[in-house]
């Protein structure tokens, strides 16, 4: 989570820098007198952009990119939430642990991502899994609810949308989701005392597609590390390593909060640039 938060903060900081501090640099002076009708003389005659400085677009483009990424992410979440609501309305009954049974040709076991927390299981999954596998699968999804993973997954989506342009953002998001899946696996094993049943259930849903608006047992396809962990091939982290990781997370969170709180003061401390912008506009409009 800290890696994603830092990337999102860097993206926001870069946008603020371009908007506030770029006009103070030589780069701004170099392109301040470039106008659309000079750079693209043919297109601007039809688009009505003649006389507008090109630098205006360059300054606001990073912020518009971030806003567009957030809007696209929000659209996808709302679309998935509506699709899941439709499936829940057509539920054919109730299953163990208060789960909703939906009709689906895939082996589906998951938990809703938005709205009221609800475990969902498909009729195909009920037919394909034995009692122990089903209990382990539902316990895994209950772990997502009890460990408060859903808000973390939503936060992950927001941070990923903000830092999408930076390299490594997608990998950091996948690693975080894997950690949450492992945490839910541990919850299920502690509840059922049957790691092999959970491993068998994960294998059965590995190739299935989770329904829109839900986090599936397959965890996005990264099942091999989880299976190795459940079968004891990957040793559990010791207490010292766990404490060190928690301390590092706290320090990273403190750094992120400090930088976030100081970002507005950096923005307001920038010198005024009205003169430079007015000069650029005057050149383009021929004043």
Name beta bridge partners: 110.
120, 216
Q: Which residues pair with 98 in a beta bridge?
A: none
Pull the structure tokens for residue 204. 């059965």
Nearest partner of 13 among 163, 170, 158, 155, judged by Cα: 163
- To 5 degrees, how large is the angle CA 87–CA 118–CA 153? 100
Q: Which domain holds residue 167?
A: 2-285
Longest dimension (CA), the chain: 80
Domain count within the chain: 1
* φ/ψ (deg, to 5) at 86: -65, -40
pLDDT tens-place string over residues 86-110: 989 989 999 888 899 999 888 999 9
pTM of this structure: 0.75
Check if the beta carbon of residue 120 is closer than 8 Å to that of residue 96. Answer: no
Angstrom distance (rounded) from CA 184 to CA 145? 9
User: What are the pLDDT tens digits along the chain (287 aa)?
Assistant: 777 887 888 888 788 777 776 666 655 555 555 554 454 454 444 444 444 455 566 667 788 888 899 999 999 999 999 999 998 998 999 988 889 999 988 899 999 988 889 999 999 999 999 999 999 999 999 999 999 999 989 989 998 998 888 888 888 898 889 989 999 999 999 999 999 999 999 998 888 877 788 888 887 767 888 888 888 766 655 555 555 655 655 666 676 667 666 656 655 555 554 544 454 445 554 44
């Amino acid at each position: 989570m800290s890696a994603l938060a830092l990337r999102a903060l860097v993206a926001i900081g870069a946008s603020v820098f371009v908007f506030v501090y770029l006009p103070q640099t030589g780069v701004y002076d170099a392109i301040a007198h470039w106008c659309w009708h000079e750079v693209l003389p043919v297109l601007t005659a039809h688009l009505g952009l003649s006389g507008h400085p090109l630098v205006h677009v360059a300054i606001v483009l990073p912020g518009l990119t971030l806003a567009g990424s957030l809007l696209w992410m929000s659209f996808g979440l709302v679309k998935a939430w509506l699709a899941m609501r439709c499936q829940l309305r057509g539920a054919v009954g109730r299953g163990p642990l208060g789960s909703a049974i939906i009709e689906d040709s895939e082996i589906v076991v998951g938990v809703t991502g938005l709205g009221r927390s609800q475990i969902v299981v498909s009729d195909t999954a009920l037919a394909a899994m034995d009692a122990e596998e089903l209990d382990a699968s539902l316990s895994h999804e209950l772990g997502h609810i009890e460990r408060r993973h859903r808000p973390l997954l939503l936060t992950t989506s927001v941070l990923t949308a903000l830092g999408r342009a930076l390299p490594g953002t997608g990998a950091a998001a996948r690693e975080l989701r894997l950690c949450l899946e492992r945490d839910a696996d541990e919850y299920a094993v502690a509840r059922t005392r049957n790691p092999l049943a959970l491993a068998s259930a994960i294998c059965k849903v590995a190739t299935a597609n989770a329904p829109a608006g839900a986090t599936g047992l397959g965890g996005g396809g990264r099942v091999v590390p989880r299976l190795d962990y459940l079968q004891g091939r990957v040793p559990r982290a010791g207490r010292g390593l766990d404490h060190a990781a928690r301390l590092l997370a706290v320090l990273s969170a403190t750094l992120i909060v400090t930088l976030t709180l100081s970002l507005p003061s950096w923005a307001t401390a920038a010198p005024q640039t009205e003169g430079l912008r007015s000069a650029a506009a005057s050149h383009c409009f021929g004043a």
